[in-house]
Amino acid sequence: MVEEPDPSAIRTLADLGGQFDLLRRAQGRRQGKHRLSLQDMVTLVRRHRGREVPRSTLDNYLRGRTLAPPDVYEAILRVLGVPDAGLRPWADAWDRLDEARHPAPPGARGTPPPPSADPPPSLPDPVPSLPDPVPSPPDPPPDPVPVPPPTAAFSRRKRVVIASVAAAATALAVAYTALSLTPPTPPATSARQAAPAECTYLPVGSPVRVRPFPSFDTGARFESINDVHQPVTGSCSPIRAVTGTGTCGIGDSSADTWIKVLTPYAGWIFEPCLRLQRPAPPGR
């Protein structure tokens, strides 16, 4: 039985190397080979990108020794026959490996904050009990008065009243303790507020394209943002990738920086197409 590539199983660079090997074997079988050789890959990637990746460098990418940059990673997938509809899980795998190389700072999304140096608040002291009153001298006993014995019905009613009073006192004590120990509820956070270590942007023009990779490959499927007032949330730290020209209506640009965005679509946006609106809080 032939094992099929599964990008969702990629958690380490070694996993990536194994999945690349499955792709090379599958593409090689389509061409009547055991698998595509390293020289085959060098030639195909050069044809796709228009420039060559050194043989030893490409071998390290394919074996999972190092993570390829986004444009080379995408070129490898395309020459190995991954269709547009199948690129998204491979892009997610690249994101996982890249985030593993650059751990998020304390307090960022998914990272628990460091423990506080302040001591935990002490619980409120219990309500002090009142001192017992000083007993007064006993009165002289009154003359005995004959009292008729209680009836059975009166005795049952007395037991019910005593039990009810005891239950009410217990409930009040439990309620008081719960109110004293329950911490105040923090205010709700707006669903549209940017999470720590994220920034909010606005498009500088339209349309702005959200791509699966930081690349201008016209064969890749993308989403479009057509409203210049649409807030975009994403990373505050761009990465360097592919240089672009004539994008999002801003004219020619020699920049090569990209922003990883989360809303309104997940993917990558060329940084000159965004204008920073709200940075991350200080110290994040």
The one-letter amino acid code at 76 reads I
Write the pLDDT tens digit of every residue in 38-90. 999 999 999 999 899 999 999 999 999 999 999 999 999 999 999 999 999 99
* CA–CA distance, 23 with 42 (Å, rounded to integer): 15
SS3 content of the chain, % helix, strand, coil (to 5): 35, 10, 50
* CA–CA distance, 40 with 83 (Å, rounded to integer): 19
Please indicate, yes or no, if residue 150 is contained in any of the structural domains: no
Please indicate, yes or no, if residue 177 is contained in any of the structural domains: no
Q: List the domain range (segments joined by +) for residue 85.
A: 7-101
Measuring CA to CA, which residue among 60, 55, 33 is closest to residue 44?
55
Paired tokens of 135: 């007993």
Please indicate, yes or no, if residue 147 is contained in any of the structural domains: no
User: Which residues, 6+ apart, have CB-to-CB distance to 72 below 8 Å?
Assistant: 45, 49, 53, 58, 61
Final residue before a domain boundary, out of 101, 133, 151: 101
Final residue before a domain boundary, out of 81, 101, 121: 101
Final residue before a domain boundary, out of 48, 78, 101: 101
Contact predicate 230/277, CB 8 Å: no
Count structural domains, the chain.
2
Measuring CA to CA, which residue among 95, 74, 96, 98 is closest to residue 86?
74
* CA–CA distance, 104 with 108 (Å, rounded to integer): 6
Per-residue pLDDT of the chain (284 residues; tens, 9 = 90+): 778 999 999 999 999 999 999 999 999 999 999 999 999 999 999 999 989 999 999 999 999 999 999 999 999 999 999 999 999 999 999 999 999 987 766 555 545 555 555 555 555 555 455 555 555 555 555 555 444 444 444 344 444 444 454 555 555 554 555 445 444 444 433 334 545 578 998 888 777 888 888 877 656 677 888 787 889 998 998 888 777 665 676 666 777 788 889 898 888 888 888 889 877 666 55
Contact predicate 258/274, CB 8 Å: no
Please indicate, yes or no, if residue 77 is contained in any of the structural domains: yes
First and final CA of the chain: distance in angstroms?
50
Please indicate, yes or no, if residue 185 is contained in any of the structural domains: no
Tokens 């547009």 correspond to: 84
70: burial class by Cβ within 10 Å (0-12, 13-18, 19+)?
buried
Please indicate, yes or no, if residue 41 is contained in any of the structural domains: yes
Please indicate, yes or no, if residue 113 is contained in any of the structural domains: no
Please indicate, yes or no, if residue 168 is contained in any of the structural domains: no
* CA–CA distance, 74 with 68 (Å, rounded to integer): 9
DSSP 264: S
